[in-house]
Structure formats: C-alpha cells, structure tokens
Amino acid sequence: MRTLLDERKHSNMKRIVLALCITAAASLALAQEPHMKMRMMGPDPGEIAATLGLSADQKVQWDSIHQQLQATVEPLHHQLMAAHEQLEALATSSNPDATAVGKQFLAARALEKQVQAAHEATHAKLTAILTPDQKAKFDSLHHEMGHGPMEMHMRHPAPGSRD
C-alpha cells in the first residue's frame, strides 16, 4: 500500500514538473524573440502622440511619462529574462526539484505582475493628460493594437465583467 502511494506522489510530481517545464519553455521562447522589447514596450509612443494630435505641453508630459515607464520596466525586463533562464535551467535539469521550479515560476510571475502594474499606471497617467476626444481615439487605438505578449498590461475588462 505504501509503495502505491509513493508511486502516485512521484507520478503527480512528474506531471507538475512537466507542466512547469512547458510553461517555462513557452515563456523563454517569447523572451528570446528578437522584437520582444518593442512588443513588450508597445508601439512607438511618438507615433501614437502624433496620431492623437497632442499639444506641445501634452507632448512634453507624454514623453516624460514614457521615460518613467522605461526607467521602471527596463530593469524588470532584465530581471525577468534572468528569472526565465533560471527557471529553464531548473526545469530541464536531470532531476528537477518541483519545489524549486515552482518557487522560480512564482518569482518570474511576480516580476511579470510588476511590469503589468507599471504599464497600467502609465496608461492611467497618459489618459489623464488627454482631452475626451483624444482619450476616445487612444482607447480605440489601444484596443486595436492587441498589446503584444504583455497583453494584460493595458487590457481593460469590458464594463460589468470580472476579469
């Protein structure tokens, strides 16, 4: 009886490690795309500013907000890439430790949430400087873009939804 329980635990642990390995591999593959930085940061803020027809004062604020975002997320992106590399190393070792893999996965996830929060804060700051017409155009552009691999960072749930 004890042997059967041990086999089930071992089998469950293998499934967990396999699932985490697949997740890690997908995350690492995304992080290694050559255009990842552009996709994570979004489209060129200057192009969007021109499309919105920002005033000179709005343009200064717009650029400042984007510089703040870059200063915040650039170190996070480096940490996230390192976290994904470490996750990949842990998950693909000859005898993966499910606990270590799980902890590293959660550490990478925490970094992703920090990047998401920075993008959400930036979106709020940007919309605060826009006129109602510019905001409507910005929201429309924003919706059309799809937001790249960090879709969560600026995607807003539909009114009344619980996302």
Summarize pLDDT for 52-98 with one digit per residue, the tens.
899 999 999 999 999 999 999 999 999 999 999 999 999 999 999 99
Q: Which two tokens stand for residue 40?
A: 């994570």
pLDDT reading at 163 higher than 70: no
pLDDT of res. 50: 83
The per-residue pLDDT for 74 is 94
pLDDT of res. 1: 55
pLDDT on residue 29 = 47
Q: DSSP of 98-155, one letter per residue?
A: HHHHHHHHHHHHHHHHHHHHHHHHHHHHHHHTS-HHHHHHHHHHHHHH--GGGGGGT-
Whether residue 31 has pLDDT greater than 70: no
- Say what the pLDDT of residue 72 is: 94
Other CB atoms within 10 A of residue 14 CB: 12
The pLDDT of 35-61, averaged and rounded, is: 73
Mean pLDDT of 9-30: 52
Domain spans, the chain? 2-153
Please state, in angstroms and rounded to a whole number, the distance separating the CA atoms of residues 104 and 125: 32
Q: What is the pLDDT of residues 107-151, one digit of tens each?
A: 999 999 999 999 999 989 999 999 999 999 888 887 776 653 344
